[in-house]
Amino acid sequence: MYLMKDITRDGDPVLRARAKKVQFPLSEADKQLAHDLMEYLVVSQDEEENKKYHLRPGVGLAAPQVGVSECMAAVLVPGPDDSILLKEVLINPVVISNSVQDAALSEGEGCLSVDQDVEGYVVRHDRITVRYQNLAGETKKIRLKNYPAIVCQHEIDHLNGILFYDHINKKTPFKMDPEGILID
Ligand SMILES: O=C(O)C[C@@H](Cc1ccccc1)[C@H](O)SCc1ccccc1
Ligand code: NI
């Protein structure tokens, strides 16, 4: 199971590299990687467990964040009352279309690989269509909006060597031009 010591931190070049496409059939190592990425998210979102293992909670984790430069990311986005909005391992994900409308989390974003807080609106697309392959190698297409869309964009960015603060306007961090949607 991954611990915080296993999470690659900003400054490590792997976080700025374009990750390699994952080949099918998946190797045993890739199957284990998919399992371990999702396991981190599940354990990190459990109040007792994350205290026991000193894990920062996460709703997404991309392979480069554990030092593996491959196009794979796990997302686990909880909904209201213990529901799950999105639980998937995205393999070779690509945003194939997006809304003109922008959106940002009103609270800004953080990152398991970035220890310091960076304030400001992380301007993203409000709605996206993502094409990816699942663990079985099936090609899937999902349409996402609001928070799940933000999470997937954050993770897909990791596969392209982009970190959340790259999207913050240095001069006007709390403005979103043109007008975008603030997500609470
Ligand atoms: O570093 C990562 O990729 C995991 C991030 C993903 C993320 C951060 C901000 C906005 C969207 C996605 C962690 O989940 S940051 C910690 C966190 C935990 C629970 C809810 C929100 C953020
Ligand atoms: Ni991150």
Mean pLDDT, contiguous 10-residue spans, the chain (184 residues): 98 98 98 98 97 98 99 98 97 98 98 98 98 98 98 99 97 93 96
Prediction pTM value: 0.97
Q: Is the CB of 104 under 6 A from ligand 1?
A: no
pLDDT of residue 51: 98
Separation of CA 172 and ligand 1 centre (Å): 23
pLDDT of residue 177: 87
Annotated binding site for Fe cation: 111, 154, 158
- Which positions are catalytic? 155
pLDDT of residue 137: 97
Nearest bound ligand to the CA of residue 56: 1
CA distances (Å), origin 163, targets 26, 117, 134: 27, 13, 24
Beta strand 72-78 pairing with 84-98:
antiparallel
CA distances (Å), origin 180, targets 38, 60, 103, 122: 31, 23, 5, 11
Please give the single-letter amino acid code of residue 162. Answer: I
pLDDT of residue 166: 98
pLDDT of residue 135: 97
Q: Is the CB of 110 under 6 A from ligand 1?
A: yes
- Other C-beta atoms within 10 Å of 170: how many? 7
Task: Choose which residue among 12, 59, 167 to substitute to test ligand 1 binding: the one with the highest number of ligand atoms within 8 A of its C-beta.
Answer: 59
Task: Kindly tell me the burial class for residue 61, based on how many C-beta atoms sit within 10 Å of its own C-beta (0-12, 13-18, 19 or more).
Answer: buried
pLDDT of residue 64: 99
DSSP string, 132-174: EE-TT--EEEEEEEHHHHHHHHHHHHHHTT--GGGGS-SS-TT
Q: Is the CB of 151 under 6 A from ligand 1?
A: yes
Separation of CA 160 and ligand 2 centre (Å): 12
pLDDT of residue 142: 98
Task: Choose which residue among 111, 122, 157 to substitute to test ligand 1 binding: the one with the highest number of ligand atoms within 8 A of its C-beta.
Answer: 111
Predicted complex: ipTM over 0.90: yes
Q: Is the CB of 167 under 6 A from ligand 1?
A: no
- Residues with Cβ within 8 Å of 100's Cβ and at least 6 positions away in sequence, in order, are none
Atom of ligand 1 nearest to the CA of 59: 14
Q: Is the CB of 157 under 6 A from ligand 1?
A: no
Element (H, E) at 181: strand 181-183
